[in-house]
Amino acid sequence: MRRLIKHVLQSESACEDLLVAGWIRTRRDSKAFSFIELNDGTCLGNLQIVADVGIPGSEDLQRMATGASVEVRGRLIPSPAAGQKWEMQATSVKLLGEAPEDYPLQKKGHSQEFLRSIAHLRPRTNLYGAVFRMRSRMAYAVHRFFQERDFIYVHTPIITASDCEGAGEMFRVTTLPDDKISKDTEDFFGKRAFLTVSGQLEGETFACALSNIYTFGPTFRAENSNTSRHAAEFWMIEPEVAFCDLAGDMDLAEALVKFLVTEALERSEGDLAIFEKFVDKGLRERLEFVASRPFERIPYTEAVELLKASGRKFDYPVEYGLNLQSEHERWLTEEHFKKPVTVYDYPKEIKPFYMRLNDDGKTVTAMDVLVPGIGEIVGGSQREERLDVLLSNFAHHGLNPEAYGWYADLRKYGSVPHAGFGMGFERMLMFATGVSNIRDVIPFARTPGNCEF
Ligand code: 4AD
Ligand code: MG
């Protein structure tokens, strides 16, 4: 049976009959044999294979170039070479698929821009292999975090008619032909439908029945901002907790960030070394720091005061009532506090309809977790549980109360204080890997003007 190279490299003992398969990273020839570095993507490491001229299949050795796929049988033996425990002495080699000379991933380093243009091949590089293995482990860790705490995983719909964030950044879903595109009532659902920007509203209904829930799935935003931190399709983790206030919400968000950072450190299976080598020298140190120290917490109003008193020239103005821009978030985390910062109690004017109004009548129980190098990684709030306040919010935000009747019902029947947040999964991955562009932690990124593959 074929064995994964990851397991072979971790072997406890030599082995007489080994079968492996993968893609050739490099091949070096001498008169009597060839050295092949084989990688199957299961781990960072390559298995070194010695293939003697004369073994079955060796007539194809010259065609076993970088990128070609091969299957190899042989013996696993202790390696005399430094830096590797095992090597394989081949008894037969089989060329499965050739890779002609124009294979784009020859040994030399490529720019991330170029690699994005060959997103179908880049997982075969060390860096992207590591990124996508990390993505898989982190997704599993998200489920572990919540399942171990008795949160129930809810699948909220991808097609929806409600704009949770009220920002009008939704992709429309329609089956109408071009010449009938505005005839909403003739459309598939009898009204306008969109790809969801957040599963929160549906998630709230389940929290108000099952107590502690989370969603983890794709969300979509037709935000025309071509930044290194925004994608049109990204994954969001959205827990929602009944009988919970803003403080409990912040505790949960900070615990999740710390848990995932600890996972990245403790279960990286060698991949962290690649991130440190290629993208961020101080990565491990920063992750250890974040895992071990409390986050700073400050109200929005104080954050604005700090920014104003900083003496720093920002591109965007700092004023009570304006959104914090990424440059402001980064100043707070990178220069002032030098650690993650949770900012809470934002002015109600700049936040969506569902956030709970504070007693001051001016601010809502919003909170954002900001981290160095990225800015906002989590956004959440305690939800407005008072029916009358919610109804006046609908009016204030120009929302049709009938369309949100089901949402208001949660306040009408057995309303409870509840709170939740959304963590951008890709932003978390950027933080855990040091990769600075969101396009490089998504297998096939969707951004304005870009829908290849
Ligand atoms: O702050 P946001 O917009 O919050 C919500 O959608 C709430 N409904 C969540 C909730 O309370 N259940 O988005 C949450 C997080 C952000 O903090 C950010 O990490 C990420 O989602 N995010 C994006 N990530 C990548 N690309 C984009 N365009 C993103 N927009 C938001
Ligand atoms: Mg936000």
The DSSP bridge partners found for residue 297 are: 342
Total domains in the chain come to 2
Residue 276 domain-assigned (yes or no): yes
Q: 367 alpha carbon to ligand 2 midpoint, in Å?
A: 9
- 197/222 Cα distance (integer angstroms): 9
Does 127 share its domain with 29?
A: no
Does 274 share its domain with 145?
A: yes
Residue 221 domain-assigned (yes or no): no
- 337/28 Cα distance (integer angstroms): 52
Is residue 352 within 6 Å of ligand 1 at its C-beta?
Answer: no
Which element (helix H / strand E) includes 364? strand 363-371
Low-confidence ranges of the chain (pLDDT < 70): 107
Does 287 share its domain with 373?
A: yes
Residue 217 domain-assigned (yes or no): no
Q: What is the CATH number of the domain that holds 267?
A: 3.30.930.10
Does 243 share its domain with 305?
A: yes
Residue 309 domain-assigned (yes or no): yes
Residue 423 domain-assigned (yes or no): yes
Which element (helix H / strand E) includes 19? strand 15-29
DSSP 32: S
Domain that holds residue 79: 5-97
- 231/129 Cα distance (integer angstroms): 21
Does 9 share its domain with 139?
A: no
* Closest ligand 1 atom to Cα of 240: 12
* Closest ligand 1 atom to Cα of 164: 8
Q: Which of 97, 113, 139 is the last residue of a domain?
A: 97
* Closest ligand 1 atom to Cα of 368: 17
Segments of 105-255 assigned E as strands: 152-153, 159-160, 172-173, 193-195, 212-220, 233-242
Does 126 share its domain with 36?
A: no
Among all bound ligands, the one having the nearest atom to the CA of 427 is: 1
- 261/369 Cα distance (integer angstroms): 14
CB neighbour class for 103 (10 Å; exposed up to 12, middle 13-18, buried from 19):
middle
Residue 25 domain-assigned (yes or no): yes
Contact 88, 44 (CB under 8 A): no
- Alpha helices by DSSP H, listed for 331-424, are 387-396, 405-412
Does 16 share its domain with 139?
A: no
Q: What is the CATH number of the domain that holds 22?
A: 2.40.50.140
Radius of gyration for the chain, computed over Cα atoms and rounded to the nearest angstrom: 26
Does 309 share its domain with 251?
A: yes
- 229/374 Cα distance (integer angstroms): 8
Does 328 share its domain with 427?
A: yes
Structure tokens at 211: 């107590």
Q: 349 alpha carbon to ligand 1 midpoint, in Å?
A: 18
- 338/282 Cα distance (integer angstroms): 14
Does 306 share its domain with 390?
A: yes
- 337/293 Cα distance (integer angstroms): 12
Does 338 share its domain with 396?
A: yes
Does 330 share its domain with 249?
A: yes
Q: 42 alpha carbon to ligand 1 midpoint, in Å?
A: 31
Amino acid occupying residue 362: K
Residue 70 domain-assigned (yes or no): yes
From 236, 346, 364, the mutation candidate for ligand 1 (largest count of ligand atoms within 8 A of CB) is: 236
Residue 172 domain-assigned (yes or no): no
